[in-house]
């Protein structure tokens, strides 16, 4: 009976997610196979995956998302470890500074990066001023610019996620490993890293999914460089082709689910007790 009441507590949340998320997603995916309420048709998917233009956009989106995730993990892991080992007051201050960029609109941040990495931006002016380059670098309106903006956007989420996991690692555990003869590298690889796998997985999923589906940053910093989200927007609002927009949305959903499943399987293999 007690378990019955426990399930009743989660019923409102389950109903909300089912009605406002699962049902619309399911209807969107199903509608892509029945464009004219006729028999199921998969020719649009087949023709799309034979289109070199679409495949290039899909590869660009995946590449940008994967590189953004890797960079966020590489920068965020040591930063989170440093913050987690600070005193309570210093940790609170550093976390406030980490969260502060999240309070700024992605539009404002994207325009700020346009000023910094533009052809006449601060980066090019500084490099040309000290003689490293003779002509401005073409950074803006490239996948590199999109990656820079997305890293700035999602790095705080990575750090916050990893700090929460690292705080649960007892310092006595690290001391015990060192006293048993493990080197600093051994303590990191055998103790710290395995215990941080859940945080790495959650942070990686948040960054990848956010990067894969982001629109504002790629639209402003990518210019004519298309990703799936900007292509979807173009089909829906410019070309008024809602059926193709639904197909693109379905592909994004499926790719996201595949990546999440693969990351969870990898996490279970690296940390079976997770």
Per-range mean pLDDT, top range of 126-135, 160-169, 225-234: 225-234
Q: Is pLDDT above 60 for 208? A: yes
Name the residue among 38, 159, 142 with its Cα closest to residue 91. 159
Question: What would the two tokens of residue 40 be?
Answer: 């199921």
- Rounded CA-CA distance 59/181 in Å is 46
Q: Is pLDDT above 60 for 1? A: no
Q: pLDDT for 244-260, tens place per residue?
A: 888 999 999 999 989 88
pTM: 0.87
Please state which of the ranges 82-96, 166-180, 241-255 shows the lowest mean pLDDT. Answer: 166-180
Nearest-5° Cα angle at 99, 89 to 167:
50
Cβ–Cβ under 8 Å, residues 81 and 166:
yes
Please state which of the ranges 51-60, 87-96, 159-168, 264-273 shows the lowest mean pLDDT. Answer: 264-273
- Rounded CA-CA distance 236/216 in Å is 16
Name the residue among 114, 147, 107 with its Cα closest to residue 227. 147
What pLDDT is recorded for position 271? 64
Rounded to the nearest integer, the mean pLDDT of the chain is 86
Cβ–Cβ under 8 Å, residues 158 and 78:
no
Where are the chain's structural domains? 1-31, 48-270
What pLDDT is recorded for position 181? 78
Q: What is the CA radius of gyration of the chain?
A: 23
Name the residue among 209, 230, 210 with its Cα closest to residue 219. 230
Question: What contacts 129, CB < 8 A, 6 or more positions away?
Answer: none
Question: What contacts 45, CB < 8 A, 6 or more positions away?
Answer: 32, 247
What pLDDT is recorded for position 37? 62
pLDDT, greater one: 118 or 65: 65
Burial string for 41-59 (b: 16+ CB within 10 Å, else e) reads: eeeeeeebeeeeebeebbe
What is the CATH architecture of 48-270? Orthogonal Bundle (1.10)
What pLDDT is recorded for position 58? 93
Q: Is pLDDT above 50 for 274? A: no
Q: Where are the alpha helices (DSSP H) in the chain?
A: 2-17, 23-31, 43-49, 52-84, 88-99, 106-117, 122-129, 143-166, 171-179, 184-187, 193-195, 197-213, 216-222, 228-233, 242-270
pLDDT, greater one: 263 or 59: 59
What pLDDT is recorded for position 136? 87
Q: pLDDT for 24-63, tens place per residue?
A: 888 888 888 877 666 667 788 888 889 899 999 999 999 9
- Rounded CA-CA distance 112/116 in Å is 6
């Amino acid at each position: 009976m007690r378990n019955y009441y426990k399930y009743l507590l989660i019923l409102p949340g389950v109903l909300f997610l089912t009605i406002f998320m699962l049902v619309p997603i399911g209807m969107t995916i199903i509608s892509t196979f029945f464009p004219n309420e006729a028999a199921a048709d998969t020719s649009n998917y087949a023709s799309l995956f034979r289109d070199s233009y679409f495949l290039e956009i899909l590869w660009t989106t995946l590449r940008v998302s994967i590189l953004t995730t890797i960079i966020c993990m590489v920068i965020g892991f040591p930063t989170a470890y440093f913050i987690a080992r600070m005193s309570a007051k210093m940790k609170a201050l550093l976390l406030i500074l980490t969260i502060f960029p999240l309070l700024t609109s992605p539009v404002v941040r994207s325009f700020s990066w346009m000023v910094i990495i533009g052809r006449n931006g601060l980066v090019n002016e500084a490099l040309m001023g000290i003689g490293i380059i003779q002509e401005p670098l073409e950074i803006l309106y490239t996948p590199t610019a999109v990656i820079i903006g997305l890293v700035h956007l999602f790095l705080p989420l990575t750090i916050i996620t990893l700090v929460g996991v690292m705080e649960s690692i007892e310092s006595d555990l690290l001391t015990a490993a060192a006293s048993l003869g493990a080197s600093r590298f051994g303590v990191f690889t055998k103790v710290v890293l395995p215990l941080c796998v859940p945080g790495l997985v959650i942070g990686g999923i948040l960054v990848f999914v956010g990067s894969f589906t982001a629109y504002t940053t790629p639209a402003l910093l990518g210019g004519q460089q298309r990703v799936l989200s900007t292509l979807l927007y173009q089909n829906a609002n410019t070309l008024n082709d809602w059926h193709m927009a639904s197909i693109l949305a379905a592909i994004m959903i499926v790719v996201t689910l595949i990546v999440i499943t693969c990351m969870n399987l990898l996490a279970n293999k690296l940390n079976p007790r997770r």
